[in-house]
Amino acid sequence: MPRDETCRFTFDDAVLHVEGDLDVTTRGRFGALAEEVRRDGGDLVIDMSGVSFVDSSTLTVLLRLRTTQRSAGHDLVLRRPSATVTEILRLSGLDTVFTIDPAGHQGLPVL
């Protein structure tokens, strides 16, 4: 299980689980792990229920992943985003861009 100083990443059943802060110090590892999971094919699901902080560099990574997924005919699903993530997405206007699954129903996108 990879571990960064302020963020923990785990994955199971093609879902990347993230806990802690997603910022400029963790975005590289986050992007690399998401890319690794994405290469398995299908929709990329990122469980963000344990994320306590997100900065603009992470939003850039998420937008890049979404573009890559869409180009491959798949989706990027943000599963159970924490209140912090939900608010950042809303304030940035990205809550209407990403597929958000607030209840953890993988495969049933909710906007």
Residue 11's pLDDT band, with cuts at 50, 70 and 90, is: low
How far, in Å, CA of 66 to CA of 46, rounded? 11
How far, in Å, CA of 69 to CA of 67, rounded? 5
* Mean pLDDT of all residues belonging to the chain: 86
Q: For the residues 32-57, what does the mean pLDDT come to?
A: 91
How far, in Å, CA of 80 to CA of 65, rounded? 18
With a cut of 70, say whether residue 63 has pLDDT above it: yes
How far, in Å, CA of 66 to CA of 4, rounded? 23
Do residues 16 and 46 touch, judged by C-beta distance below 8 A?
Answer: yes
What does the pLDDT look like over 15-44, one tens digit per residue? 899 999 999 999 999 999 998 888 878 899
Q: Which pTM does this prediction carry?
A: 0.84
Those residues whose C-beta lies under 8 Å from the C-beta of residue 71, and which sit 6 or more positions away, are none
With a cut of 60, say whether residue 106 has pLDDT above it: no
Which H or E element spans position 72?
A: none
With a cut of 80, say whether residue 5 has pLDDT above it: no
Residue percentage of the chain with pLDDT more than 90: 68
With a cut of 70, say whether residue 2 has pLDDT above it: no
